[in-house]
Chain A
Amino acid sequence: MGLHLRILLSVVTSPTGELMTATTENTTHSHAPVAQAAQPAAQAHGQQHPIKLYLLVWGLLFFLSACSYLVDYFDFQGYLRWFLIVLFMLLKAGLIVAVFMHMAWERLALVVAILAPPMAVLVLMAMMAWEGDYTNYLRVIFFGA
Chain B
Amino acid sequence: MTAEPVTTEHVTTEPTLRSSLHGMVADWSSDQRSFKGASWGKAMMWIFLVSDTFVFSCFLISYMTVRMSTTVEWPHPSEIFALEIGGKKIPLILIAIMTFDLITSSGTMAMAVNFAYARERRKAAILMLVTAFFGAAFVGMQAFEWTKLIHEGVRPWGNPFGAAQFGSSFFMITGFHGFHVSIGVIFLLIVARAVWRGDYDVGRRGFFTSRKGRYEIVEIMGLYWHFVDLVWVFIFAFFYLW
Report whether A69 and B92 are in contact in the complex, using a CB–CB cutoff of 8 Å. yes
Interface of chain A, helix or strand or loop or mixed?
helix
Q: Does A19 contact B (CB under 8 A)?
A: no
Q: Digitize A106-136: 1 where CB-to-B-CB distance is under 8 Å, 0 elsewhere.
A: 1111101110011001001100110111011
| Interface residue count on the A side (C-beta < 8 Å) | 71
Residues of B within 8 A of A3 (CB): none
B-facing residues in A61-85 (Cβ within 8 Å):
61-62, 65, 68-69, 71-73, 75, 81-82, 85
Residues of A within 8 A of B91 (CB): 72-73
The minimal Cβ–Cβ distance linking B204 to chain A, given in whole angstroms, is 16
| Interface residue count on the B side (C-beta < 8 Å) | 75
Report whether A114 and B50 are in contact in the complex, using a CB–CB cutoff of 8 Å. yes
Report whether B229 and A110 are in contact in the complex, using a CB–CB cutoff of 8 Å. no
Report whether A110 and B3 are in contact in the complex, using a CB–CB cutoff of 8 Å. no
Q: Digitize B174-215: 1 where CB-to-A-CB distance is under 8 Å, 0 elsewhere.
A: 000000000000000000000000000100000000000011
Report whether B66 and A132 are in contact in the complex, using a CB–CB cutoff of 8 Å. yes
Report whether A109 and B27 are in contact in the complex, using a CB–CB cutoff of 8 Å. yes
Interface of chain B, helix or strand or loop or mixed?
helix
Report whether B68 and A133 are in contact in the complex, using a CB–CB cutoff of 8 Å. yes
Report whether B34 and A132 are in contact in the complex, using a CB–CB cutoff of 8 Å. no
Q: Digitize A33-64: 1 where CB-to-B-CB distance is under 8 Å, 0 elsewhere.
A: 10110111111111111010011011001100
Given A93-B234, A132-B69: A46 and B241 within 8 A (CB)?
no
Q: Which of B35, B65, B107, B201 contacts A55 (CB 8 A)?
A: B107
- Chain A contact residues, CB within 8 Å of chain B: 24, 27-28, 32-33, 35-36, 38-49, 51, 54-55, 57-58, 61-62, 65, 68-69, 71-73, 75, 81-82, 85-86, 88-89, 92-93, 96-97, 99-102, 106-110, 112-114, 117-118, 121, 124-125, 128-129, 131-133, 135-136, 139-140, 143, 145
The 5 A-B residue pairs whose C-beta atoms are closest, nearest first, are A132-B68, A145-B71, A135-B69, A58-B107, A109-B27
